[in-house]
Structure 1
Amino acid sequence: MSKTVILAEKPSQASAYADAFDRSERKDGYFVVSDKEFSRAVITYGFGHLVSLFSPEDYNEKWKKWDLNTLPILPDQYQFKVSDGKQKQYTIVKKHLDEADTIIIATDGDREGEAIARLIINL
């Protein structure tokens, strides 16, 4: 059976989407929903920025203390990590995305919402 995952930006948004379905069941970090369009889908969500850029010192210890001689700080390749304190929700989201046949990005329709979704999916 195929699995559709709807990725919302935040819990309140996911809850509002779940309310639009005929049936929804809240779980830990996601909703299972169904109606005439979806026999079964999952709505999961980030909260705040689930994924963030590495800190300067994550790239190079000498960048931990700001110094005019080391500016600008430009790593060879930007890297991303799970934001502090958000590993549990990231693990839930990742599990569902890994199992998905279809992913619907349902974050806010602005650049920030799109970036949040793409960073989660890419990591």
Structure 2
Amino acid sequence: MGRIGALLACAALPSRAQDFVDREGPLGDTAFYRLVACGASPKGDCAKPFYRWDQEVITVGIVTRAPDFLGGKLKRAEASVVRAVQRLNKIGMAVRLVERAQAPDIAIHLLDTARGDRIITG
């Protein structure tokens, strides 16, 4: 669930202007959350305010599947999304996550990248 959870966290940011923080190497859970949530460098202050959803139901879905995600690998990824949504809904957040394949609020992209590879968007 770690990679899917990370993708969900990254995807939770509203898609407005290009917005990223360049960071090399692994991050702990708290540092990763603060990086995604407010652009904070490890042990640093927030660079922007925390984003908050203005709706109670947030849709989540896989929108991109690299060719490597076929058969069992795709089924495991989809099952990870289901479990992540179930677990997150159980913790009592102010929002409820619902799976939706078409135009979800949180779009998950399954990419063919090796662990530690840089992902460049644009």
Fold agreement, TM-score > 0.5: no
Larger radius of gyration: 1
TM-score by length of 1: 0.24
TM-score by length of 2: 0.24
